[in-house]
Amino acid sequence: MSAHADRDPDAESDDGGGLSERDRAVLAVERRGWSGPGEKERAIRERLDMSPTRYYQLLNALLDDPRALEHDPVTVNRLRRLREAHRAHR
């Protein structure tokens, strides 16, 4: 199964092979610096119109999507390192 096979079919893609607007918006939220989790969660609800739980599900899938890495390698690689550090700590 490909990394993006379980992605939301309702997420519109801009050019058929690239990331959807929603996927790019998720990565944009992660690029920002946040003063605390409350501010970030509020932005997720207001800007993306989704729950934080759904946001993190989508973000985790994006980290395994080569299109996301191509779109924003700095953010994706940083988040991959954090994810691996969390997994190693468990």
**DSSP three-state, residue 9:** coil
Burial-class residue 23 by CB neighbours within 10 Å (0-12, 13-18, 19+). buried
The pTM for the full model equals 0.77
Query: How far is Cα 88 from Cα 25, in angstroms, rounded to an integer?
Result: 28
Which tens digits make up the pLDDT trace of 54-83? 999 999 999 999 999 999 999 999 999 999
Mean pLDDT taken over the chain: 85
Q: Tell me the average pLDDT across 30-52.
A: 92
What is the pLDDT, as a whole number, of residue 78? 96
What is the pLDDT, as a whole number, of residue 89? 86
- Structural domain boundaries in the chain: 21-89
Q: What is the DSSP string of 11-74?
A: S-BSSSSS-BHHHHHHHHHHHS--SSHHHHHHHHHHHH-S-HHHHHHHHHHHHT-HHHHHH-HH
